Structure 1
């Protein structure tokens, strides 16, 4: 498994100080390594900008692409555009420490960093919590599930007759106005 993620290892020791750019095309196969299957397909371009300084490394991760998801309302598949950035500072110290999400401390002896997990997090955090097909939002999606949901929708308040209102509510409304 780690052998397959070898493409995401950046050997920073041999790099000159300054900016270095790395490009990756991330597809659903990448997420198989993390056993993540909350979407159908993924096609995301990752740009990693590494600014190597004398005593630290600054990484900037930028994800942009499309992920095919199933809608939470209609269960219809749709392409969700995703875009996200993540900044990581890598410093060196006596021992490994990743307690802070924006700061990674590597031992002085380290000469490379596997960035696969940071790529994974950058993309997964770009996926919206609530997944709604654009056709559901604008009313253009024709779906049996949506038709059934409309059919089961409770009747609107204006359909109720004024006589059906419990007189106790009227008394309570008077208290609000006092």
Structure 2
């Protein structure tokens, strides 16, 4: 992954206080991470960067859509996503990002790359099970759903005919088990 200048924030030149940054994320952003689970992405990220004398506070928010295949039908659809994340940056002797909410930068650092944090925030906001919104409200028309409905009806018919063909002697044997 290469550093993209757009995501580098040179905080050494910023005044104390809050600063706002806006990013428009698309598929090209995810290609730099070799991440290809999304067919398309359109996500707006806003970052409030609060510079204080001894630390930095970052507040990320995102909202948009990612185009993913439905887990049930396999059809692509736009999945709405949104989320937020906070990050505190302190200064210390050496770089440390072991904690997901706290980043420690060496004292000599003058810029911060927020690309990795935006990537993780967006990817983690996508649910594990992706179901087309048309399935939930019943408006999706699909060949896969039609075939599934056809097979379900066929299976129900087979079960009802199997119940009618049961030998009456089995019923008497089952009654022996329940009479104990």
Fold-level similarity (TM above 0.5): yes
1:171 CA drift (Å): 7.7
Provide, for residues 73-109 of structure 1, a one-character-per-residue CA deviation record: whole Å limited to 9, x for no partner: 1111111111010100000100000000110000001
- For normalisation by structure 1, the TM-score amounts to 0.86
- Find the counterpart in structure 2 of residue 96 from structure 1: 95
For residues 18 and 57 of structure 1, what CA distance do their matches in structure 2 show? Answer: 10
For residues 123 and 174 of structure 2, what CA distance do their matches in structure 1 show? Answer: 48
Q: Secondary structure at the match of 1:39?
A: coil
Total equivalences in the alignment: 174
- Find the counterpart in structure 1 of residue 136 from structure 2: 137
Give the number of the structure whose alpha-carbon radius of gyration is greater: 2
Q: Do residues 2 (structure 1) and 9 (structure 2) align?
A: no
1:117 CA drift (Å): 0.5
Show structure 2 runs of 5+ residues with no match: none
1:138 CA drift (Å): 1.6
For residues 58 and 37 of structure 1, what CA distance do their matches in structure 2 show? Answer: 31
Distance change (3 Å), C-alpha of 1:151 and 1:107: same
Q: Secondary structure at the match of 1:137?
A: helix
Distance change (3 Å), C-alpha of 1:169 and 1:97: farther
Show structure 1 runs of 4+ deviating over 4 A.
Answer: 166-172
- Following superposition of structure 1 onto structure 2, how do residues 134-173 of structure 1 map, counting pairs within 5 Å? 134-153=133-152, 155=155, 159=160, 161=163
- Find the counterpart in structure 2 of residue 16 from structure 1: 15
- Find the counterpart in structure 2 of residue 48 from structure 1: 47
Provide, for residues 134-153 of structure 1, a one-character-per-residue CA deviation record: whole Å limited to 9, x for no partner: 11112211111112222333
- Following superposition of structure 1 onto structure 2, how do residues 53-132 of structure 1 map, counting pairs within 5 Å? 53-132=52-131
- Find the counterpart in structure 2 of residue 34 from structure 1: 33
Q: Secondary structure at the match of 2:14?
A: coil
For residues 145 and 9 of structure 2, what CA distance do their matches in structure 1 show? Answer: 48
CA RMSD of aligned residues (A): 2.6
Q: Secondary structure at the match of 1:13?
A: helix
Show structure 1 runs of 5+ residues with no match: none
For residues 123 and 33 of structure 1, what CA distance do their matches in structure 2 show? Answer: 14
For residues 31 and 43 of structure 1, what CA distance do their matches in structure 2 show? Answer: 11
